[in-house]
Copies of this chain bind each other. A is one copy, B any other.
Amino acid sequence: MEMVIMRDHITISEVGPRDGLQNCKGVMPTDLKKRWITALYEAGIREIEVGSFVPPKLFPQLADTAEMVAHAKTLSGLRVLALVPNLRGAQGAIAAGVDAMGFPLSVSETHSRKNLRQTHDQAVENVRQIAGLIAEQPEHSRPSFEGALSTAFGCSIEGVIKEKAVLRLAERLVEAGVDELGLSDTVGYANPVQVKRLIRRTRDVAGADRVKSVHLHNTYGQGLANAFAAWEEGIETFDSSLGGLGGCPASPGASGNIVTEDMVQMFHAMGVETGVDMDKLIATRAFLEEGLPGEAIYGFTPNAGLPKHMVA
């Protein structure tokens, strides 16, 4: 049995500028988005998924992703991520200068076709091409490459996703050249027992060093329970979005991401460092209110205020 180390410092990967905005009707103005990213950085966030290199006509909310990457790269020590669905997207991401790119491979092939218009074979081939492109880059500017196993815990179209299918695709992604694997609960069906089991099993087939992050949603209110379960398995990086923005356009019924404010609060209460200043983090909600008028913003912690003994 492998030794699991529970981290005393974890990384919050803020996905609001990508996963959040992608699922909002409104389009946040570019300048405001830059200021939001800067404010998140100043609140202590050190990893941000700033956008997705997808056709602007499909996702006008993310049309300025290259500009976002360029802006985010001016913030010292910030790890800048973007999603890429194909080689063309990866070329854009490299030209923009990302630190890492993610390819969302959905274990539900129905969802993969709907979301990326790719079969599993096509997606794996795209991953192979992207990995090849990355390998050609000079070492000092070579981005890392993460395969995100979407719908790994269930799919709102296909229903149950077999763990064997997750593991088989994990192997294929590693073989095709990804550096890391992330487990994504795209629609929020995961439960904590399943989270622990799937992390262990994925590490068994892909190596513990390759499975360091989870992307969880809060559709059933189990987001923090799942994050805690993942932390108990030694996971280091936790995706979430400010105000719980987000969902999935190709997944009916998927509701928002874990609320960053609540995740930070849980880890701080547990004595786990995130580097985030809660007051400054909560203040960044103003950018959502300004840039996405009428959009619902969630969060228990902003509503309740900090516990008495945690008020600065």
Give the interface of A toward B (CB within 8 A).
Answer: 154-160, 187-189, 191-194, 218-225, 227-229, 253, 255, 259, 262, 265-266, 269-271, 299-301, 303-305, 307-309
Contacts and interface: CB of A to CB of B under 8 A. Distances in A.
Please state the number of chain copies in the assembly.
2
Contacts of A220: 262, 265-266, 269, 300-301, 304, 307
A189 B307 contact: yes
A270 B193 contact: yes
A142 to B, nearest CB: 37
Contact of A269 (B191, B224, B255, B304): B191
Contacts of A269: 189, 191, 194, 220, 222
Contact of A224 (B187, B219, B224, B308): B224
A24 to B, nearest CB: 19
Contact of A307 (B156, B218, B223, B309): B156
Contact of A266 (B225, B266, B301): B225
Given A159-B309, A224-B221, A309-B160, A304 B253 contact: yes
Nearest to A267: B191
